[in-house]
Amino acid sequence: MHVLTTPPFAGTDRGQQLFQAHYGGVWRAFTLVFALAFTLGCGATPPAYFRLNMVEATKQHLTTQQEEQVSTVLLAMFGTPDEPATLPEMGLDAAKLKLAAGPVRSDIVGRKNGLYREHCAHCHGITGDGLGPTSAFLNPYPRDYRPGVFKFKSTERADKPTHADLLRILHNGIAGTSMPSFALLSAAKIDALAEYVKYLSMRGETELSLMRAFFELDDDAAGKLPQTREFLVTETLAVAAAKWQGASAAQIAVPPMPADIELVDSIAKGRALFYGEKANCVKCHGVTGLGDGQANDYDDWNKAIVEADKEVAGGERRAQEAQTSGMSPDELKEHREQIAWLEKFTRVLDGDALKPRTIPPRNLRQGVYRGGRRPLDLYYRIHAGINGAPMPAGKGTIPPEDIWHIVNYIRSLPYEFDGELGADRPLVARDRF
């Protein structure tokens, strides 16, 4: 059998002609680019950096020096996006972070680094602030990890997700949103990415604590944070880290669905609870279950921007109404500072925040659940609510057995039959209501 080792026509005059015709232009272009790069310099991209949380810095009225203090402390503790650092208190695995961090590249044996920048940063941003270049086009917006709040997990409402929760999110993606499934990545890579999410989140939480700490300083401190290990690590970083380490202890204990449960009966009980006063799901999810109850609320991330927008609007109104003519020099100085601050805040909100979007209650007729569709997932959602979102926790008001009835009712909703038959009546509830 003839094995083709060289391209057809290679070495012949005809081959030479074809090669010229196809690639001659390309080579000329390459030569030109190299020549230009040589004369003008390659314009190497500057190293990636973590962005400061400017919305919070401005909200807390930090001075430029104070912003720099926060950046310096964070740099010392967490390093840079290319060279992440860890302290023992974080309880993070430096080798995993290395795999996820840095620019996209592979080493001599083809092992890849830079997984986060390859797969996540265009949505979640290099800093994990949810401000990647794609973010503004998405609804819901990609998560901003910096407040350390996560929605879909197996732990009590205010607690962190477990490592297994993050692995599941990365493996499954979030149904009904743009967050994709990364199931095609190896387990080791998913593991590294989950670790990196924790790292970015801890960094963001530490940043928030530091920025808020200025507020509590006494006058002797002259606007400076204490530079002691006790304050910076023990009282700040370690507090955020401990919550992550305590996640598995905060897992919700789910009693199994009673074995003798009769499904039709259970669905009827769940329905009564859904519309009843105690669970009151109807208030938000609507009498139809389509999510058309109270639909004008925001989740915590968007609410923060709505409130900041209001603060700026109120400040501008007061500034315009103020009578500068009767002001003392001190009052005038304060008035000018206030105007400068309002201008800065407006700029920051334009550049570092997305336009607020409401979070409508879920349409329960579609059978699409962001936190997973297993009965167990729905149990977690009803027991703990959705952290950071208006969906409240049923814990304490709805006993476990009733939660299971509601789960059964919710799962029946996409198929509920309203008693009317007809050729023009779709069979599936989500198309009918």
Q: Under the rule (CB under 6 A), what is the footprint of ligand HEC?
A: 119-120, 122-124, 134, 138, 140, 142-143, 150-153, 161, 166, 169-170, 174, 177-180, 182, 193, 197, 279-281, 283-285, 294, 299, 359, 361-362, 364, 369-371, 378, 381-382, 386, 389-392, 394, 406, 410
Q: How far is the CB of 206 from ligand HEC (least distance, A)?
A: 18
Nearer to ligand HEC, 156 or 233 (CB): 156
Residue pair 167/153 in contact (Cβ under 8 Å)? The answer is no
Neighbours of 78 (CB within 10 A): 25
| Neighbouring-strand partners of residue 155 | 251
Q: How far is the CB of 301 from ligand HEC (least distance, A)?
A: 9
Nearer to ligand HEC, 53 or 154 (CB): 154
Nearer to ligand HEC, 59 or 168 (CB): 168
Nearer to ligand HEC, 247 or 391 (CB): 391
Q: How far is the CB of 368 from ligand HEC (least distance, A)?
A: 7
Which pair of structure tokens corresponds to residue 102? 């840095």
No. of helices (H) and no. of strands (E), the chain: 17, 2
In angstroms, the Cα distances linking 221 to 75, 211, 214, 322, 389 are 22, 15, 9, 33, 38
Residue 296, CB half-sphere, CA atoms under 13 Å: how many? 0
Q: How far is the CB of 352 from ligand HEC (least distance, A)?
A: 18
Taking the CA atoms of residue 216, residue 221, residue 227 and residue 231 in that order, the dihedral angle to the nearest 10 degrees is -30
Nearer to ligand HEC, 182 or 214 (CB): 182
Which pair of structure tokens corresponds to residue 343? 């201008």
Nearer to ligand HEC, 284 or 349 (CB): 284
With tokens 């919700």, the residue in question is: 252
Q: How far is the CB of 280 from ligand HEC (least distance, A)?
A: 6
Q: How far is the CB of 426 from ligand HEC (least distance, A)?
A: 22
Q: How far is the CB of 187 from ligand HEC (least distance, A)?
A: 13
Nearer to ligand HEC, 102 or 361 (CB): 361
With tokens 């402390």, the residue in question is: 73
Phi, psi at 112, each rounded to 5°: -90, 145
For residues 406 and 409, give the distance between their C-alpha atoms in angstroms, rounded to a whole number: 5
- Name which of 276, 284, 279, 84 is nearest 192 in CA terms: 84
